[in-house]
Amino acid sequence: MRDYVEIGVGREARRTYSLSDISIVPSRRTRSSSDVDTTWHIDAYTFGIPVMSHPTDALASPDFVIEMDKQGGLGVINAEGLWGRQADLDAAVARVVEAVTSDDNIDGASAQAIALLQELHAAPIDEDLLADRIAEVRASGATVAVRVSPQRARELAPMVIKAGAEILVIQGTMISAEHVATGGEPLNLKEFIGSLEVPVIAGGVADYTTAMHLMRTGAAGIIVGGGTNTNEFALGIEVPMATAIADVSAARREYLDETGGRYVHIIADGEIETSGDVAKAIACGADAVMLGTTLAPAAEAAGKGSFWPAVAGHPRFPRGLVEAPQDFFFEGVEAPSLEKILHGPSTEAFGNQNIVGGLRRAMAKCGYTDLKSFQKVGLAVKR
């Protein structure tokens, strides 16, 4: 039963829950974590862990994407980022990192870095350069996922697929089954996805109805949430992830019945920083998670500890901060490897490392050995 409260005369609002508002309740025989299977299957692809990376240049160097594949996850390339705009990708990212670390005033440094990102993104996309870099990752044997925005999907998707993209991610702040713009041709996702030969993951969404419409487009996966951003301040939009994931999971159940068995995957993207957050997202109904700031400290990450979401470089209305590296980057301490962040062993106690190991243990403590069944675990509201 949905919980509505009156916020004024004649105006109601729904009470919703973030991941921090809930906890997992063990109620079955415990299992050994070594018996837990974290394999994630989507379309024709199988991944050892249910983890995607946020499509940002702060993470996705070619080496990072390849290493994500080696660790069992899926690294995502942003086709509208710096990969196709800057010939010297490493130098461009290094300039952003330098900008955000050049001023002790955190807000001022982030503003300088955002301005630089906007400048770097003002360069036109060189399709040949972007195609060459995508092909480089494809040649390594890694599964290649590339993100495009709804606004430029029709323009860029054929090119990135030809270059080697095996999974297309159509991602915006919020997305609908049809993107309409005055003076332009509407993007009908059902028609567009039907014309492609690769599976599509689309998002973000935050509610039951939009998710149902997106599922009917033929998308293989739906992204719930919008990652790390400033939407609450800039747009007044905030996605309470526990409720959003549960709502989209309910839409999936109805769609499954409607289609006689077509399963659409749910990828949670927001409020997820620790292994406990990953476990709670899957417990609410997600099949996988999209991680951003959690992966930024990895030695293989392009930003060397700095992080910014894809929307931080928007030319007119950025909706994300450029975050400086964590203190240990300035103290001569060796950055953890991506393997350590995902698989351990961990040297800290708050679930920021050995993410998959933490998920395995949560599942085992609750008596579940596969991701799908763990979506049925008991939950409690803490407030």
pLDDT digits (tens, 9 = 90+) for 204-235: 999 999 999 999 999 999 999 988 888 888 88
Average pLDDT score, the chain? 93
Distance (Å, whole) CA 216 – CA 310: 27
* pLDDT at position 341 over 80: yes
* pLDDT at position 143 over 90: yes
Tokens of 61: 């160097």
* pLDDT at position 250 over 90: yes
- Encode pLDDT of 265-296 as tens digits: 999 999 999 999 999 999 999 999 999 999 99
Contact of 99 with 120, CB cutoff 8 Å: no
* pLDDT at position 330 over 60: no
Pick from 49, 61, 50: nearest CA to 299: 61
Q: What residue ranges define each of the domains in the chain, with the CATH number in brackets?
A: 4-75+142-307+334-381 (3.20.20.70)
pLDDT grade for 354, boundaries at 50, 70 and 90: very high
Average pLDDT over residues 173-193: 77
Q: Is the dihedral of CA 183, 189, 190, 192 positive or negative?
A: positive
pLDDT at 237: 85
pLDDT at 234: 83
pLDDT at 324: 84
Contact of 383 with 22, CB cutoff 8 Å: no
pLDDT grade for 331, boundaries at 50, 70 and 90: low
pLDDT at 180: 62
Q: Of 3-17, 53-67, 98-112, 229-243, which range is least confident?
A: 98-112
Distance (Å, whole) CA 207 – CA 175: 11
Distance (Å, whole) CA 94 – CA 82: 12
> How large a percentage of the chain has pLDDT more than 90?
80
Neighbours of 344 (CB within 10 A): 16
pLDDT at 88: 97
Tokens of 92: 């461009």
Distance (Å, whole) CA 106 – CA 89: 25
Distance (Å, whole) CA 354 – CA 369: 18
- HSE (CB half, 13 Å, CA atoms) of 157? 24
Tokens of 128: 């040949």
> How large a percentage of the chain has pLDDT more than 70?
95
* pLDDT at position 57 over 80: yes
Distance (Å, whole) CA 142 – CA 364: 30
pLDDT grade for 236, boundaries at 50, 70 and 90: confident
Contact of 303 with 215, CB cutoff 8 Å: no
Q: Is the dihedral of CA 58, 308, 144, 284 positive or negative?
A: positive
pLDDT grade for 337, boundaries at 50, 70 and 90: very high
Distance (Å, whole) CA 101 – CA 331: 14
